[in-house]
Amino acid sequence: MKFIKISVILFLIASFSGLKSAEANDVLKNKILKNIRCLICQGQSVYDSESEFASSIKLIVDRKINEGMREDSIYEFLREKYGDWIIYDPKLNKNTYILWLLPLLLFLLGGAIIKKKFKFKS
């Protein structure tokens, strides 16, 4: 009897943790799919699209997650196949320096102007 009870408890714990990990995989999958551009659609992510290309990418992402591939590696895999354009979040490289550094430069410039104005007033 005791053996049966322990077995049932262990089974429930195993099922629960299995459900938890499936849920975590789903969350990760959706996060990745929302960050991938559907290359044949107009302004849609793979997550939003029902196109054939998008459904193939969804399957691939699902497969890679189940194989234990990490988020970064999945992006890298897709980048290698389709280039930087497929990822919404651009990587810092020679083509995107301005995109990443311009807001910082403007922030510093604005700060410097404000500081100078305050100095003049005081």
Partner 1 sequence: MKNKFSLFVVIIFLSFCFVIFYKGLNTPNNYTPKVNDKKNIPTFKAKDFHSSNYINSDKIFEENTFYVVNIWASWCVPCRTEHPFLMELSKNESIKLIGLNYRDNFNNAKNFIDDFGNPYSRILIDKDGTLGVEFGAYGVPETFLIDRNKDIIKKFVGPINQEIVNEIKSIIK
What are the residues binding partner 1 (CB under 8 A)? Answer: 37, 39-40, 52-53, 55-57, 59-60, 63, 80-83, 85-86, 98
Q: What is the number of other CB atoms lying within 10 angstroms of the CB of residue 58?
A: 18
Between 16 and 97, name the residue whose CB sits nearer to partner 1. 97
Tell me which residue of 33, 31, 39, 30 sits closest to 85, measured CA to CA: 39
CB of 55 to partner 1, least distance (A): 7
**Distance of closest approach, residue 78 Cβ to partner 1, in angstroms:** 8
Residue 3 or 42: which CB sits closer to partner 1? 42
Shortest separation between residue 31's beta carbon and partner 1, angstroms: 19
Helix (DSSP H) and strand (DSSP E) numbers for the chain: 4, 0
Least spacing, CB of residue 16 vs partner 1, in Å: 31
CB nearer to partner 1: pick between 6 and 106 = 106
Furthest CA-CA distance within the chain:
86
